Amino acid sequence: MPTPDLYAVIMAGGSGTRFWPASRASRPKQFLPIAGAAPMIAETWKRLEGLVRPEHVLVVTAESQAQLVRECLPGLAPENLLAEPLARNTAPCVALAAFEIRRRAPDAVQIVLPADHVIRPAEAFRRTLAAAAREAAASGALLTFGIRPTHPATGYGYVETGEQMHAVDGIPVHRVVRFVEKPDRARAEEFLAQGSFLWNSGIFVWSTSAILEAVREHVPAVHAGLERVEAGAPLGEEYARFASEPVDVAILERAANVRTMPIEYEWNDVGSWAALPEVAPADEHGNWPALSGGARLVTVEAEGCVAYAEAGEVLALVGVKDLVVVRAGNATLVCPRDRAQDVKRIVEELRGSAPEFL
């Protein structure tokens, strides 16, 4: 089964609210070196090297973030930057990229992935991408990667797997029974015990023809709107009519030809400050200085803390345990590590009362 002509679509329009106050509207999470020395979008770009040619990598982002993409990805061709005039979640984003790829290479297979994940090792990831591309080209199915759960996580969506259909390059291909949105703790424990549920990675592989047919069938308003754009209608006017829906809900939950391939290596969507201990080693005192800050961390009898401040600053922690302490620009965050997901509530409060801090 030969590897087909490959394109990649990096989705980079998110707001990264759970990483406030380091992640702001002017520089969201995907443009920060949260889990390494380079911005997360640059790490995603590099992860594709050797599999997808640079001229075949497209980035979809918000118009307001286009310059940030150019700064982080100097190798990105100008025509490969697709700017969305409005935030409409990932279903219109996927469709916009698919229409553009069809114009260039209608027989291509697409890899669609978020800009802000940590995946290691890159070689294993590329191997599964290549296998998924061959499966998508041969079957016409919509492929998603599933992550073997290691604990009853409530912050991820789940994929229930059916029977194994076959394997590609030794990687099993399963029928998808259903998608389940983020569960409560009891349901997550049930899913873990059953053994047939995987975390939904949000990484997809499909042929251009298959995803466009799925867009036409399941989100016809988006398909019709982008056809009007091809005929000369303003993109902004059409985008304003689109519903804001994730591709999982708008298409994959409704489609019949969805398959999943489990991946066994490290994957993390780094959804909040509390995720840093999962992707970075602790220092000698058992704390996690966030790699993106550059500040000096000084501790006395402090442990289990995630700390961030910008270069040229000092953070000092005394006698505290299991905190998130973030100082960025004109804002400071302090919370228990196990409440880091609730940072979004602060963002919601500021959106109404003090948006200048977002």
CATH number at residue 177: 3.90.550.10
Structural domain includes residue 243: yes
Res 223: pLDDT: 98
Q: Say whether both 119 and 149 belong to one domain.
A: yes
Tell me the average pLDDT across 310-317: 89
Flag whether 282 is in a domain: yes
Residues 100 and 119 in one domain: yes
Which pLDDT tens digit goes with each residue over 270-298?
Answer: 888 988 888 888 888 899 886 556 788 99
Contact between 227 and 160 (Cβ < 8 Å): no
| Per-residue pLDDT, 312 | 86
**253: which residues sit within 8 A by CB, 6+ positions away?**
178, 179
pTM of the model: 0.93
Q: What is the pLDDT of residue 290?
A: 67
Q: End-to-end alpha-carbon separation of the chain, Å? A: 49
Instruction: Based on the fold, state whether residues 128 and 78 are members of the same structural domain.
Output: yes
Count of domains forming the chain: 2
**What does the alpha-carbon distance between residue 54 and residue 254 come to, in Å, rounded to a whole number?**
33
Mean pLDDT score across all residues of the chain: 93
User: Which residues lie closer than 8 Å to 345 by C-beta, 6 or more apart?
Assistant: none
How far apart (Å, rounded) are the C-alpha atoms in residues 225 and 229?
6
**pLDDT value of residue 310:** 82
How much is the pLDDT for 102?
Answer: 98
Query: Same domain for 100 and 213?
Result: yes
Are residues 164 and 57 part of one domain? Answer: yes
**How high is the pLDDT of residue 292?**
53
* Nearest-angstrom CA–CA distance, 183 and 169: 32
Range of the domain at 324: 273-357
User: Is 1 within the bounds of a domain?
Assistant: no
Starting at the edge strand that comes first in sequence, how are the strands of the sheet with 288-289 ordered? 288-289, 306-308, 323-328, 331-336
The percent of residues above 70 in pLDDT, for the chain, comes to: 98
| Count of CB atoms situated within 10 Å of the CB of 84 | 21
Could you say which of 249, 268, 287 is where a domain stops? Answer: 268
pLDDT at 16: 81
Residues 211-216, mean pLDDT to the nearest whole number: 98
Residue 2 has pLDDT above 80, yes or no: no
Q: Which of 10, 221, 258, 244 is nearest to 110 (CA)?
A: 10
Q: Kindly provide the residue ranges of all beta strands, DSSP E only, lying in the chain, ordered along the sequence.
A: 6-11, 57-62, 81-84, 109-114, 118-120, 142-147, 158-168, 171-180, 197-207, 258-263, 266-268, 288-289, 296-300, 306-308, 314-318, 323-328, 331-336
Which of residues 268, 286, 321 is at a domain's end?
Answer: 268
Rounded average pLDDT over 103-132: 96
Question: Does the pLDDT at position 174 exceed 70?
Answer: yes
- The rounded distance, in Å, linking the Cα atoms of 72 and 27 is 11
